[in-house]
Amino acid sequence: MKKASIPMTNDLICPHCERSRLQISTFDEVMKFRGEELLVSGLQGYKCLDCGEWVISPAQIRSNHAIYAEKKAEAANLARARVGMLDGNEIRAVREQLCLTQLQMARALGCAPMTFSKYERGEVMQSAAVDVLLRMIRAVPGAAHFIRARAGIEEQWTTIVTSVADEVLATNVVRLDSRSLKHEAMPAWESSLQQRRS
């Protein structure tokens, strides 16, 4: 079915036959995705009541693209389930567990930001290697630190923690001086910080 895309005007006269009015209608379309044919329903357009030609407005194009994207995500998640891979929501949960943006996660995994975004949206299926890495990040605590460091976040976090710890330690030393060294037992983490500073 051939469809034209033109900006819509208020008269809504068919641009093909220039005789009849256009009527808003829905249609189905078969789309190829990863070698499979998907039936996409509920797409919108204007159909000429006389010649039967279709015209799609810019707003309808945007709406139809969202329907296509949703259908692709469903198909990709079904394909992932068949081979036992994480789906888009699970991938997003791993990223959020690390408190990383899509850009940072893409940098850490060595892929393009748009590619990682498509993993989460379900438009692109991740490789088996990326899937294993994401599962490892989710299951192994040390892996999260490694990924955060690759994203350039872990060093920043370490710097902040060290800076705060230094302030706490400096405050603790002042408190020791002001009490003329009459100090109760320090909490274990403060004691370890003091040993680290010595």
Tens-digit pLDDT profile for residues 3-26: 544 444 456 888 888 888 888 999
Class of domain 3-83 (CATH, top level): alpha beta
Q: Which fold has domain 88-150?
A: 434 Repressor (Amino-terminal Domain) (1.10.260)
Name which of 57-61, 101-105, 154-158 the model is least confident about.
154-158
Give the model's confidence band at 181: pLDDT under 50 very low, under 70 low, under 90 confident, else very high. Answer: very low
Quick check: 160 pLDDT over 70?
Answer: no
Query: Average pLDDT for residues 186-191, to the nearest whole number?
Result: 48
Quick check: 190 pLDDT over 60?
Answer: no
Give the model's confidence band at 59: pLDDT under 50 very low, under 70 low, under 90 confident, else very high. Answer: very high
Where along the chain do its domains lie?
A: 3-83, 88-150, 154-197
Residue 194: the pLDDT is 57
How far does Cα 124 stand from its chain's mean position? 12
Query: Average pLDDT for residues 77-102, to the nearest whole number?
Result: 90
Name which of 48-52, 82-86, 153-157 the model is least confident about.
153-157
Quick check: 120 pLDDT over 80?
Answer: yes
Give the model's confidence band at 134: pLDDT under 50 very low, under 70 low, under 90 confident, else very high. Answer: very high
* Global confidence as pTM: 0.55
